[in-house]
Structure 1
Amino acid sequence: MSLTAGIRLSITTLTVLPVRAGRIDRPAAAVAMSVAPAVGALLGLILGALLWSLREAHAPAMVAAAVTVAAAALLTRGMHLDGLADTVDALGSYRRGEAALEIMKKSDIGPFGVAAIALTLLIQASALSTLPVAAVVVAFAAGRTAITLACRSGVPAARNEGLGALVAGTVPRWPAVVIGALVVAAGVAATPDRPWQGPVAVAVSLLAVVALVHHAVRRFGGITGDVLGASVEVATTLAMIGLSFTKIAAN
């Protein structure tokens, strides 16, 4: 069934969790990209539990946050960070089309990519030093909602092969919008004392992804796996920033 295969594909693509891969085709990819926010929430639960445990062990706030960020990279194979670096390097080159895609294919990372990774990890660790566990779950769910929106119908793939070609345009537009709206609404749980703050933070992060994907289509001709990775990191980081503007909540 496409549902089972899609759930397996989503977990095996977005995490290192020991799940056996199933069928890999566009119907399965449509399910995988649609359930990506749920996989993000699962990651958030795991990482939130780690963060809570470190705090309960009286680890310094920044140490607990940095370890959690490192764990997030390990649980995702660091592929989203790699995609962020490659995408920023290509955008920073001011090249278009195939010339930009060639930069993204290179195994090395340029100065733009290095700066993007360093700043992203720094900002995420700083934000996590203050976030309650519920906000961690919401931020990681928002980050993976970026994938659902980036793979909505009407968004082309930049190449004829690779992850982008498999998943581009697989999620119908209205289901993508509904899924995004549900995750925005779930932001209330992250900031219960200020119920408007969580939804606003998530909405801003997702709007930034829509803008990034639009720009990628103009510059590269469509999305790639690297663009998806960049979208995840941009949404996660912006959501964490928006959710951090509050007092530390009890866990």
Structure 2
Amino acid sequence: MTDRTMNGIPLNEIWEQLGAEFPQEDIRKHPTTKMDYVSVEKVEERLNNVVGMGNWNFFTDPPQICRFGIENHESCVVSGRLVLYDDNRIPIVRSTCGAADIIYPRDSDRPTSVANALDSAVQDVFKRCAKRFGIARKEKNAMHADKGNGQNRTEKLMKVTFLEAFRALPKGGAKSKVTYGEKTLEMVIWSKEWEALQKKYGDSFRVGGRLNEITFYGVEKEYRGTVQLEFVRLPDNGGKGAA
């Protein structure tokens, strides 16, 4: 009896190649969770190189909207299955579900982008299925990786001028184009800090709203090859300087 093969390779070697660690240049850092991750494109590239482009497929079921919590927060939930075919076209299947939050602007019942939520949920379930085949399973906590990446995480006092209204981030929080010194950069306020600002200052911090300028403590960091400003906190003067 011959060994079962896929793309002309014995299955035990397929699993080893799929589960191989990715090179450091393929690993990114999630800005919110601080976890290392591998992009969908790199997962697809791994499947194409090892299994063969014609030997795998990915299927999803219709999305569902789930509500949870006392405030009925909504998430787009998608079930999916990743199918690999051996050289006799016998399928090997891994399935699970993924999700993404649906973001609503403040004081609006219309979501910011249903398409973004659906796309994020599909990417989430695809990568979760791939992990069940051993792909990108050994992701490391980026909080530990920070120690050697050379990025400056020191907080410093910054003053920026806004060039546009706040735009919603996919998983909560907001961002906006600003000028800082003589540079035009993107300023990011993550969900925890954004919610705290909204509770304290109300409509001054809302998606679609725009400030003139603000003074805050933040960090300047590189993300996907570009420099951005990450909001940390307002000064101890109670937020004076935000206008």
Normalised by the length of structure 1, the TM-score is 0.24
Greater fraction strand: 2
Normalised by the length of structure 2, the TM-score is 0.24
